[in-house]
Structure 1
Amino acid sequence: MVLTLLGIFFLLPIVAMVEFTTRGEQSTWSTLINWPELSATYPDLAEGILMSLGQAALTAVLMLALLVPTAIWVRLRLPGLRRLVEFICLLPLTIPAIVLVVGLAPVYAWVNYLIGGSSLTLTFAYTILVLPYAYRAIDAGLSAIDVKTLAEAARSLGSSWFTVMARVVLPNIRSAVLSAAFLTVALVLGEFTIASLLNRTNLQVAINLLGKSSATMSVAVSLAALLLAFVLLLLLSLVGDRRKRSAS
């Protein structure tokens, strides 16, 4: 009974969104999936979609490049710093986005001066924003394997530390790395506050502006973004289930 009520509670808004976006003779969804027509009719929305996809990809790459080697190295060589690294990575979770923007605004003044005001520079802010979620995913993956034993076995066979991290540890935490990447993409696609307050463009900012001129298209894009986030989280769940089955 409770699950049924919860299902109705979550499904009714989605059904209403679908009904609202399919009214009229011209289908909003046909315009949404036709990229040339979408770019010509809603150029700001097209730019927001491209910017968000670029931000999501760059943030995932930068986050993995920084966090994966750091987490592995701390586990192997600097275990005493694990609590400090965990505290630093989880810190953005305790700071409201509006406070982060206040601190990031002077930094982005220099970013604008040095490399320009492209919306892709939000990658730096988003990398900080996703650290708590990505760190938890990668740390859980490292906790599921015996990192020290694997590293000692590889080192005894003459492997360098780079080989240990890249060819021994990393393949064993592949599912955790994918989980961190999926979470990063979902969070970046749904972020609004930082982009809006820093006067940058992304999908959510474009949707907010579009809602003032075309409510139907705005709702359709919001629903598409919601479905994409749901698919990513479903993939994340499947990856987690597969990891548990492999461990057992």
Structure 2
Amino acid sequence: MRYAIYFTPPADDPLTVAAATWLKRDAFSGRNADLGDLEGIDEDEQHLITEEPRRYGFHATLKAPFELATGQSEADLLAALQAFCGREFSFALPSAVVGQLGPFFAIIPGATHPPLQDFAARVVEEFEPFRAPLSDADIARRNPDRLGATQRENLLRWGYPHVFDAFRFHMTLTGPIVPERSATIAGVLDRRFSAFNQKPLAISGLGLFVETQRGAPFTVHSWHPLIGA
């Protein structure tokens, strides 16, 4: 069993529904969602490019997947998450946009938002006592030789390379897209997420996601509102 602490809007939020439809899977219910009109790509291509994010569910990684440390339990983790959310205030990202991170498409901030960076750092630090050390195989999967020095240090110290100054908030919508398809996929995503593009995004709660066994789809165990959500 692995756990992860992700940002995701509530189950009934319009963005959650739109993303579940695009990914063809709702991480809250575990059910497949009806894709509807693709307008520019065929269903086989859409299924292929969303395969990786579909397994994880619509989310932004804050505390990357981890096994529980010796002496910790799911009940302990749940209690700590409830307590954390009970003292953190909700806030809004001023503008979220559909953009690219390398070859991937995701919902990302229109500009770096320091309160979001600080919030993400607090999540990483707060839940570190619950994380078991990475195995050698887990470290190898991250291709540490291809990481920069800071990211390698983060991986070994915090279990994930993209934390603190290396953190970039993103809610993944696709796997890697070949350059000759990027413009088409960008257009499809702009249309499907037009209601949310360049609009504020409420950081209103955290989801505890679980993976029952390696390679299984992640599902939402529970969602916890921040103060004022």
**TM-score band, normalised by the shorter chain?**
under 0.3
TM-score w.r.t. length of structure 2:
0.24
Q: Specify which structure has the higher proportion of strand.
A: 2
Q: Which has the larger radius of gyration?
A: 1
Q: Specify which structure has the higher proportion of helix.
A: 1
